[in-house]
Structures are given as structure tokens and as C-alpha cells.
Amino acid sequence: MIQVTKKTVSGILAFVLLITSLMIQPLTIHAESTLDLNAESAILVDAGTGKVLYAKNADIALPPASMTKMMTEYLVLEAIDEEKIDWDTTTQISDYAYKISANVLFSGIGLTQNKDYAVRDLYNAMAVFSDNATTIALAELIAGSETEFVKMMNDKAEELGLSEYKFVNSSGLDNDSLGDDMPEGTDPNASNLLSARSAAQLAYHLVNDYPEALEISSQTEVEFDEHKVENLNWMLPHEATYLQSFHYEGMDGLKTGNTELAGFTFTGTAERDGTRLITVVMKTGSKEERFKETAKLLDYGFNNFASEELFPAGHQLEDEGTLPVAKGKENEVSVSISEGIAIPIQSEETELYSLEYNIDEEKLNDNNEIVAPIEKGEKLGTATLVYQGEATDHGYIFDQESVVVDVVSDEAVEKANWFMLTIGAIGDFFGNVFTTAVDWIKGLF
């Protein structure tokens, strides 16, 4: 008969805990490998740092459908910021915009000609209900015509550093839907093109440059022409029972899209505990699927990453806390990084990051010394964050491989006076003579 003692029970419990930890740990560390997304392409980005946390075919240019309107939103907000228009500026509806509004295939909000519409109402209809005609009306207001507005869209895309893009109209409809009204100089069969990365880049600029965009995109419903219209973003807290199952805590934007060519697309953003994430899913199979896949991305980001300050401002590298100085009252100068480095990382990866100094060669003499005088806080070079782990590092949303901060002097070092420099030079001379003599004598024996 087997006797069960306290010691036996303790051993069994320890074994169970060990096995459990081994089973659970890979799910956290390798969560990305199990993130099976039903989307042609996708990306997940930290909105604060631009760090890419996940990517799937993120650089393939695809039709974005109404996610195109994020660029129209940006240009409208920029025009308001530059005081070219304001929220109360009014405009009337052109024949072109009216035709789009009256076409039931485009699910238009319904516009009336010979009536003044305020920018605020047109923007609400565009951002919340994804209306195409109000988008065209705003484009015509800002640029005079959609043709000129498309030029502005492409110029702004280049300025913002979008990686893959082609704008042919302001709304996101396919050009063949616009008929004779398509913008001049564009292909009749063309569609707007964005990659998941460039859509996220655009969203990154939109939410960081004009955070008021989120105040509008987070509205569950808005009133237009005395009618209420609901936001097409089902991840907001809608009252309809069916839509409540899609609600995602912290969601406040950003833009849905759908055409036959594009499938169902969505650029989303949510904030929890001070961390904002941006997601893009492209070419999903249904309205429901684009939100389900977005929830997967957000869960992955919020559950597996946390922002950590890896190196605080003033941090010094071990054994590299000082640099040698030439022609100074001091022989060395203390150096450190000018600002802290905080990025979202997976748990238990803190030790996998290090810093590498890159001292400016123009600051160094032939003996790799910093030549005095040196001012306090003077930039002497840079420090690059280096990741030494095995997991895939997706880098950053724009053209940078890592975080780079300045390396600065912690103190001032004055230039030595002429007398001390002369004494030093004499000392160096006789030191060299002595060394040469010793070497000569050694050579005799």
C-alpha cells in the first residue's frame, strides 16, 4: 500500500506547477505564431512609438475602399488648422456630388442641392457614415475640384512618408463607378491603392497630428438633416443587440471600407491604460470578419506587450561612462543618453535589449579623443537600441530600424590654457624621445 505523505503531495504539486508553466509560457512568448488572421494583409502598430508589433503581407498595395477617406479627413483638418476654412464654413452640393448621393448603389446619405451644408456636418457624414458624396463636396470645397484634391492627396502622402500609395479619387470608390466625373488624368479602371503599412502610417499621422479626429470617429451616431445615422464601426458601443457582441473596450476609431474589389477593410484604433494601438486588416470576407480579425490583433497587442522604459535619461553604458579628452583641463568627460527609451515589448524580454554608442567622428582626433572645449549637454554622438532576441522584430512603421537617441556630455570641459598645453606638448615630446631611446637600447641586446 502506497503511503501519501505531506512531502509526496508537495512534490506532486511542484511537478504540476512546473508542467503548467512550461505549457503556458510558449503561448505568451510565441503568441504571434498562433495568430491566424483571415485577412489578405494586416498590421498592428503602437501609436505612441510607431513600433510594429505584428505584420502579415503588410507591404502589398491593395484597394483600401473607404479607408481612403482618412486622407480626405487629414486634409480637411489641416485646412481648418491653417484657418483656410472652419467647422462652420458652408458649401453647396455640385451636380457630381449630387449624382453620387442619389445613387442607391453607393448607400448615400441623401443630399439636397441649392442648400448650404456646414463643414462639420459634411465631415461627420464622411467619417461616421462613410458617405461618398459629402467626401466629394469637401474635396471640391478645399481644392476647387476633385482633380486638384487628388493631387493634394498624393503630395501629402509623399510628405507624410507613406510607403505604398496611389490616390485617384477622394472617396475610395472605384473610378469606373464615377463615370465621366472621375478626376482628370486618372485611369477609368483605376482604384486607390494602399498597403496595410501605409494605411497604418496615415492613421498614425491622423491620430497624432489631429487627435480631434477621434472625437468624431468615436461617435456611435450623428444627426444629419434631422435624421440620425449610425457609425459603421461596429466595435463602438452600439445600442443594437446584434452589434453589441462586436464592441471592443477602448475602441474610438477609425475607418471602415468595402468595395467588390477591396473586400471588407478596416483601420481601427483603441486605447487602454494609456497605450494606443492601430490596426489595419485588408481584404477580409465580410463585415463581421473584419471586426473579428481586428479584435484578434488588439487582443494580441494588449495582452502580450507593455511599454517599458528600457533605459532612462542619463543612463551610462558600463565601461563607457566617460570618453577621453584632448587639450582640456580634464582628461575625460562623463557622457550619457539625452532621453529615456521606452518601447512596447513582450514580457521577460527586457534583458534582450542593449545600447551601442556611435561617437561622431568629427568630434574625435587621431587618437579617438574628444577635443576640448566641450559644453555641458553637447551632442557627441548617438546611441542605438539593439535587440538580441530570437523572435521576429518587425521594426518601426517608418524608415527606421531602431530607436536612436543622442549621447551628450554631462559636464563642461574647458580648454587648457596655453601654458598647460605647452607643458603637455613638451612632456609628450620627451616621452616620445625616451620611448624611442629605450626601444633603441633594447634593440642592441
Task: Name the one residue in this structure whose C-alpha cell is 448650404.
Answer: 116
Backbone phi and psi for residue 57, each to the nearest 5 degrees, phi listed first: 45, 40
* Selected catalytic residue, list 41, 94, 101, 130: 130
> Catalytic: 166?
no
CA distance 207 to 253: 9
Whether the bond between 237 and the residue before it is cis, its omega within 30 degrees of 0, is no
CB 52 within 8 A of CB 394: yes
Q: Which helix (H) or strand (E) holds 149?
A: helix 146-160
> Within 13 A of 124's CA, how many CA atoms are on the CB side?
18
Cα–Cα distance between 300 and 107 in angstroms, integer?
Answer: 34
CA–CA dist 49, 301 (Å, integer): 14
* 8 A C-beta contact, residue 202 and residue 208: no
Query: How many angstroms separate the CA atoms of 349 and 387, rounded?
Result: 9
Is residue 256 within 8 A of residue 265, CB to CB? The reply is: yes
Name the residue type at position 218: S
The DSSP call for residue 245 is: T
**327: annotated active-site residue:** no
Q: 152 with 143: CB under 8 angstroms?
A: yes
Q: Which residues contact 336 (CB under 8 A, 6 or more apart)?
A: 313, 314, 315, 316, 321, 407, 408, 410
206 contact partners, CB below 8 Å, separation of at least 6: 70, 73, 74, 77, 213, 254
Catalytic residue chosen out of the listed positions 51, 56, 66, 171: 66
Task: Identify the DSSP state of 255.
Answer: E
> Has 307 been annotated as catalytic?
no
Q: Measure the CA angle with vertex 270, ends 132 and 264; round to 5°.
A: 40
According to DSSP, the residues that pair with 336 across neighbouring strands are: 408
Catalytic residue (choose from 56, 69, 99, 156): 69
Q: Which residues, in sequence order, are bridge partners of residue 364?
A: 370
Q: 332: which strand partners?
A: 324
Residue 187 to residue 169: CA distance in whole angstroms? 11
DSSP class of residue 417? Answer: P
What letters, b where the CB count within 10 A reaches 16 and e where it falls short, cover 135-146?
bbbbbbbbbeeb
Q: Which residues are catalytic?
A: 66, 69, 130
